[in-house]
Amino acid sequence: MEHEYRENLVVYGKKLLETGLVQGTYGNLSVRQDESSMLVTPSGLDYAGLQPKDMVKVNLETLVWEGSLRPTSEKGLHGEIYRVRRDVGAVIHTHSKYCAIFAAARKDVPIEDVKVQEIFGKTVKLAAYALPGTEELWTHTLEALGENNGCIMANHGMLCVGKTLKDAFANCCMLEEYCG
């Protein structure tokens, strides 16, 4: 199963590039591997060249990782989401164009479309600003996310979750399209 998760992270990393949801090395993806670990994208590697072996296994409690590649600097945020939200199997964080406008404007995203409300509720909340990779960012993002499937991160981007990477990716696409 671990190899399948690694392959899916590569596939969806490339889909994020193809759809314009990320550029270069910006953004990150993860999947819950089991109750004690997750697989995350490595720090600083372009999604276009990612391979399954590049994915980094991280302990959810200690954030200690295996291997020579460093995990995304947002590993703590991903880990905290998995610890708090047992229903989440995948997390995607992007710096996509239209969601970034809401992030820069520091605005919630009001959702009027009933179909989109089924995924995100009536509002996609804005997480208060904090420096990337900090516990303060985790706290603000988890507060904004709540039980929802997505949130906007002030001056930073967006974050979506799902039971699977396919679900989280679909949620990212839907939120970006809605914000456009």
Task: State both tokens at 25.
Answer: 């090395």
In sequence order, which residues have a C-beta less than 8 Å from that of residue 77 and are 6 or more positions away? 91, 93, 133, 137, 138, 141, 159
Residues 159 and 133: their CA atoms lie apart, in Å, by 14
* The one-letter amino acid at 39: L
Task: State both tokens at 110.
Answer: 């009001």
Are 42 and 55 in contact by the 8 Å Cβ rule? The answer is yes
Q: Which of 18, 74, 80, 177 is catalytic?
A: 74
110: β partners: 123
Is 18 among the catalytic positions? Answer: no
Task: State both tokens at 20.
Answer: 């314009």
Residues 110 and 59: their CA atoms lie apart, in Å, by 36
Residues 136 and 153: their CA atoms lie apart, in Å, by 12
- Residue 124's SS3 state is strand
Active site residues: 74
